Amino acid sequence: MSHIEHLKSLYPLQGVHVVDVGAGDGIYSRQLHAVGAKVTAIEIDPRKVAKARENLPSSIQVKLGAAEKLPLSSGAADLVGMFFSLHHVPSDFQSATFREIRRVLKSSGRLHIVEPYPYGTMFDVVRMVEDETHVRTRSHQLLNGLDRDRGFELVNKREYVLTREYPTFEVFLEKIVLPDPDRTRAYDAVAAEMAATYERVAETVDGRVVLHQPCAAYHFSVAG
């Protein structure tokens, strides 16, 4: 199961304007574009914005901006997506984020948020350089309590496991740890233990070495 595959089963993406909030370097923006969506990627980190602009198709708009202050006009979007990004929004700004999302969505719009759980083999390895137990737990609590008072109604919730392939620990480091300066700084103190944890929890499935990240996808409509 992939994030975009599941979203497609809930909402037709061909030709609709999708805003990818917390887009990073654009991995999900690219996938949304590939299935026919008109995509605007929003990212707060200027380095990731530059990388996304360099690597994504030119038809994808990439904008520098924060989730709590989206650089979009009111009613501009058919769907707002946040893929593994809500828990990165500081708690003080999360209420403002939902107000902003409601502002930029059309009255017929949808909000789709996928958040990882604080467990799974992927989490077992990553938490050694960035323990997100608290922020991930809080995000799920927030989403489970999101209701009409915030302008949204839950249409669908589905739990599934995202499986990612990392053939070696070195590949895992290259993709997950080294691009992040904070994780890189934390890595030296736990290098041996982290390598041992990867070797212990990584699984071989159909000849692929993988880690698993359980998550939940929350799909909301705009409350009338």
Q: What is the mean pLDDT of residues 122-142?
A: 97
Residue with tokens 């984020």: 97
Residue 147 has pLDDT above 90, yes or no: no
Cβ contacts of residue 71 below 8 Å, gap of 6+?
42, 63, 64, 65
Return the exposure string of 3-38: e unless at least 16 CB atoms fall within 10 Å of the residue's CB, then b.
Answer: bbebbbeebebeebbbbbbbbbbbbbbbbbbeeebb
Condensed to tens digits (0 to 9), the pLDDT of residues 25-44 reads 999 999 999 999 999 999 99
Name the DSSP class of 66: B
Confidence (pTM): 0.95
State the DSSP string of 32-55: HHHTT-EEEEEES-HHHHHHHHHH
Domain architecture of the chain: domains with CATH: 3-117+131-161+215-222 (3.40.50.150)
